[in-house]
């Protein structure tokens, strides 16, 4: 099956399959798209600008009801997004502050 994602998907930065395999999450430049692997239907699941998430996102993984996103380039954080409510939590680091600091949560820094 081939599906067409939204026309504003200019770059694929990461992919993750939901634990049950029924959803594929595709990270684009500004959004995460959701593709139903059964029906092929696709939609925008999450927009980075709406949540104030800065910089590039290249790593994506799923665990239960959450997506975990790792930053790159100008983003130095790990964020968690609920697949139920799309609520965002910064788990570690800071989107706009680099460094090398061992710490807990947002007190840690990544280069």
User: Whole-angstrom Cα distance, residue 74 to residue 39?
Assistant: 36
User: Whole-angstrom Cα distance, residue 15 to residue 20?
Assistant: 15
Please say whether the beta carbons of 50 and 99 come within 8 A.
Answer: no
Given pLDDT bands bounded at 50, 70 and 90, which one contains residue 41?
confident
Q: What is the mean pLDDT of the chain?
A: 77
pLDDT of residue 22: 92
Residue with tokens 């939590």: 89
Given pLDDT bands bounded at 50, 70 and 90, which one contains residue 23?
very high
User: Whole-angstrom Cα distance, residue 40 to residue 56?
Assistant: 27
Please say whether the beta carbons of 82 and 65 come within 8 A.
Answer: yes
Beta strands in 4-107 (DSSP E): 14-17, 23-27, 31-36, 42-47, 56-63, 66-72, 76-82, 88-94
Q: Which residues of 11-35 are buried (b: 16+ CB within 10 A; e: fewer)?
A: eebbebebeeeebbbbbbebbbbbb
Per-residue model confidence as pLDDT tens digits over 58-95: 678 888 899 988 776 566 778 889 999 988 888 877 76
Phi first, then psi: give them for residue 56, nearest 5 degrees: -90, 150
For the ranges 47-51, 84-88, 94-98, the one whose mean pLDDT is highest: 84-88
């Amino acid at each position: 099956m081939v599906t067409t994602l939204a026309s504003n998907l200019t770059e694929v930065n990461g992919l993750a399959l939901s634990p049950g395999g029924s959803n594929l999450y595709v990270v684009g430049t500004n959004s995460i798209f959701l593709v139903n692997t059964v029906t092929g239907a696709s939609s925008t699941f999450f927009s980075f600008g709406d949540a104030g998430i800065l910089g590039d996102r290249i790593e994506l993984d799923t665990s239960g009801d959450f997506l975990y996103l790792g930053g790159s380039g100008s983003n130095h954080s790990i964020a968690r997004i609920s697949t139920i409510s799309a609520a965002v939590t910064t788990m570690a680091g800071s989107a706009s502050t680099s460094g090398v600091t061992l710490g807990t949560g947002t007190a840690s820094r990544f280069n």
